[in-house]
Chains A and B, each alone.
Chain A
C-alpha cells in the first residue's frame, strides 16, 4: 500500500472567505474587459459581482480584524484593479447615451459612487503621504 502523500491543496478551507475567489473573478473579468466581446451591461454586472465578493472578503480580512501583510497585499492589488476597471466602464457608460445602467438595477450615480468609494479607500489606506505631512495637515485642519 503506497504511503499517503502530502497534498497541501487539501488543507485549503473552502468555508473560509479568502482571496482565491476574488482572484478567480478578477481573472474572468480581466478577460471579459480585454476582449470586449460582451455587452457593456454584462461587463458592468460582472464587475459589480466581483466588487461584491471583494467587499465581503475585505470586510472579513481587512475591516473586521487587523489585516496580515498577505491580506494587505491582495487587498491593495485587487482594489487597484477594480478601481481601474470601474473607471474604464464608467467612461464607456458615459459615452453611450442609449445604454441605461438602471436596466440592471444600478443607477449611473451609484455606479460612479462605488468607484469613488474605491478611490477614497485606496488613497486613505495606501497613499504614500509621509507621517509628518499627515500630522501637519491634521493640525492645520482640526487644530
Chain B
C-alpha cells in the first residue's frame, strides 16, 4: 500500500533525523529504512536518493528545529 505523499515526506524527515542521532550500531537498519522511504518517494523518476535528500535541506532544518524545541524546550535556539 502506498503512503500519502505528505505522510511519506514526514516519514522521510523522521527517518533522517533518527539516523543522525542514533547509536552507530543501529545505523545499518536505519539507513535501509531511509533508503526504502526515499525509493518509494522517487518511484520511476530520474532522481537519486542523494538529490532528493539535498532537495529536502530546508525541510530538514525546520524539522530539526521543531524536534529540538520538542525534546529540549529550555534551549533558546
Contacts and interface: CB of A to CB of B under 8 A. Distances in A.
Contacts of A113: 27-28, 30-32
B2 interface: no
Q: Give the bracket for the number of chain B residues in contact with chain A.
A: 35 or more
A134 to B, nearest CB: 4
Interface in B10-63: 16, 19-21, 24-28, 30-32, 34, 41-42, 45, 47, 49-60
Contact of A120 (B6, B19, B59): B19
B34 to A, nearest CB: 8
Contacts, number: 94
Contact of A141 (B19, B30, B41, B57): B41
B63 to A, nearest CB: 11
A118 to B, nearest CB: 10
A110 B24 contact: yes
Main secondary structure of the interface of B (DSSP, over half): helix
Contact of A64 (B8, B54, B68): B68
A116 B35 CA distance: 10
A123 B47 contact: no
Nearest to B58: A134
A64 B59 CA distance: 16
Main secondary structure of the interface of A (DSSP, over half): helix
Given A120-B16, A121-B20, A133 B55 contact: yes
A120 B49 CA distance: 9
Given A113-B31, A119-B50, A141-B47, A124 B56 contact: yes
B9 A142 contact: yes
A114 interface: yes
A135 B58 CA distance: 10
Given A117-B27, A134-B58, A137-B55, 5 more contacts: A114-B27, A141-B5, A142-B5, A142-B9, A143-B5
12 contacts: A48-B24, A64-B68, A64-B75, A106-B25, A107-B25, A113-B30, A134-B56, A138-B59, A141-B42, A141-B55, A142-B5, A142-B8
